[in-house]
Structure 1
Amino acid sequence: MDVRLREWREDDAPAVLRAFQAPDLRAQAPFPVITLQDAMGWIAGWAGVGHAFAVTVDGSVAGNVAVSRIDDHDNGWVSYWVVPEVRGRGIAVAATKELVRWAFGERGLYRLELGHHTNNPASCRVATKAGFRPEGIERGKLRHEGLRYDVERHARLATDPVTHS
């Protein structure tokens, strides 16, 4: 299995549209991704707000990893997703590790943070396997469809040891 990161391209819009048909991804989209135009807007929306990369597996788009909210202290916010049909194969972990390598090595960041709903153990496993240490629970942090969710925050520093799990 060949997992790689590359810049998003406009011709990836059909893959983005398919990805956001998954209920869990649809609920986290910043706006409804219903048409190819919406998917192209999602891709274009990353310009100037962060660095997003298409995660490819054997050449096909399988997900996204990104670092955004980069501040003056060299901190950034990490996010990731993979399509349901490839989950459980270590793709999100491999892609997140590669994003971390890029963010620390090429972008020069020092601290990376991420958060996941406490009822999402799969995302927690991705975070910990990618070397992010838990830092605590933020109670009632997110609201989706009228419900509040607690979020577990994780962080990784450039000085943390490289993980091999």
Structure 2
Amino acid sequence: MRAAPLLRAWTQADAPSLHAAFAADPGIEHQLGCRLDDVGQAARYLQTALADSPQRRSFAVDMGGTAVGNIGISAIDMRHQTAWVSYWLAPSARGHSLASRGVAAAAAWALGDGGLFRLELGHRTNNPASCRVALNAGFRPEGIERSKLRYGKDRFDVETHARLASDPVPGISALPLQSPGPSTS
């Protein structure tokens, strides 16, 4: 019997899975901000970009013991109780509501034990799947930021969404969350 999906901390043992996700969809480079052409690069990325800090929490989306995606809470600002949410999944994990359920779980943690009040995220306006993730996880649209992102020579408009601690809890079944460790407060 295969274990149910969950959110958990990343570990160095996830380097091969992280590299495999990148190899399956090099477009993930836009989310990561770098290439992961081998397991060594993936291991270094885990040590730097996905390591938890007072300004960042990263959660691996785990399917049966394999990391297949990331839900990130970054730019944590405890003074204003705000943060930025990001997410990506390997192609093999898409289409199963894992991103929506993972974002809902990470948001519940951030708006609860994480001590935050407002979470923001954005997606390219030409990415309706990412918009569905945001809406399903309880993030309300707030507006369009024109030509905000640049990938290569192309610029993309971004729709910004936010979820507040005072917003209703979405009706989606959030992924179980293994303890993320100490609060950011």
- Within the candidate set 40, 43, 50, 1:40 is matched to 43
In the other structure, the counterpart of 2:65 is: 59
Whether 2:86 is the aligned partner of 1:79: answer yes
The DSSP-based 3-state class of the residue aligned with 1:69 is: strand
Which structure has more relative contact order (CA 8 Å, sep 6+)? It is 2
TM-score, reference length from structure 2:
0.85
Which one is further off, 30-39 or 143-152?
30-39
Q: Percent identity?
A: 47
Tell me by how many angstroms 1:74 deviates. 0.7
The DSSP-based 3-state class of the residue aligned with 1:73 is: coil
The DSSP-based 3-state class of the residue aligned with 1:106 is: coil
Gaps of 5+ in 1: none
In the other structure, the counterpart of 1:13 is: 15
Tell me by how many angstroms 1:50 deviates. 0.5
Whether 2:101 is the aligned partner of 1:98: answer no
> What's the RMSD between the two structures over aligned residues?
1.3
Count of residue pairs the alignment pairs up: 165
Which one is further off, 41-50 or 118-127?
41-50
Tell me by how many angstroms 1:60 deviates. 2.1
1:2-44 Cα deviation digits (max 9, x unpaired)? 2211110001000000111203213332221112121012111
TM-score, reference length from structure 1:
0.95
Aligned counterparts of 2:65 and 2:39: Cα–Cα separation in 1: 21
In the other structure, the counterpart of 2:175 is: none
1:20–1:29 Cα contact (<8 Å) kept: no
1:144 corresponds to which letter in structure 2?
Y
1:39 corresponds to which letter in structure 2?
A
1:3–1:95 Cα contact (<8 Å) kept: no
Tell me by how many angstroms 1:92 deviates. 0.6
- Within the candidate set 147, 152, 159, 2:154 is matched to 147
Tell me by how many angstroms 1:99 deviates. 0.3
Gaps of 5+ in 2: 173-185
1:116–1:124 Cα contact (<8 Å) kept: yes
